[in-house]
Structure 1
Amino acid sequence: MAKFYVQSGNLRTVVQAESSRKAAIWAVHEAMQQVLPVDDELSYSKSDRESTETGTVIMLTKRITISERGFDRADAMVMSTLEVMNQWNQMVSTLDRLEQMMHHAA
């Protein structure tokens, strides 16, 4: 897996992923965890928890930039934050449906 530098607003994170799109979705997942925890098993690092507890809130802008070379690159791929959030929402909805199906089957 490749390493991607993902940024939007005050979010700057390094993600290992199969593609830039998947890296962007994971970065949105990190941002959304502060307001909508999806899974307690997916733990944040101690510093991530402390920054949220001290009032540092991740704020995204209209665009997410993704690069394999570093932050603030002019050649970075740019994606719409709304588009990535929609993809993240579809993923979370699918996982929720699968979890419900597993509970009903058990």
Structure 2
Amino acid sequence: MSAVEDFAALIEGTDVMKQVLKGLKEEPAHLLALICREYESTGQPVPDHRLYYVGYMGEAALKALLSAGMVRRQSGGVLALYTYEPTPEGEAQCERLKAEKQI
């Protein structure tokens, strides 16, 4: 093992990094659920200012959803830079997560 791999193994074993890695897995699901709920209730794409995410982790979660094709980004209107709406694939994933009570 290289020095970097040894170091990474030590760091990944800490409670702090375990929580970070857990957040990396769960944050996109929570953000997708929020977008799906808002879209269901309004029938309109969700403006960016209605999304609840913080810092790099939240931004990375949104980028992951876009890259995976779970949400679609559009130019915003008067009050938003962008709006987001779930794709059919995103809605299907949202339903699966709800059925398993993951979100």
Shorter chain as denominator, the TM-score bin is 0.3 to 0.5
* TM-score, with length taken from structure 2: 0.33
More strand by share: 1
Task: Give the alignment's TM-score, normalised by structure 1.
Answer: 0.32
Higher helix share: 2
Instruction: Give the structure, 1 or 2, with the largest relative contact order (CA under 8 Å, sep 6 or more).
Output: 1
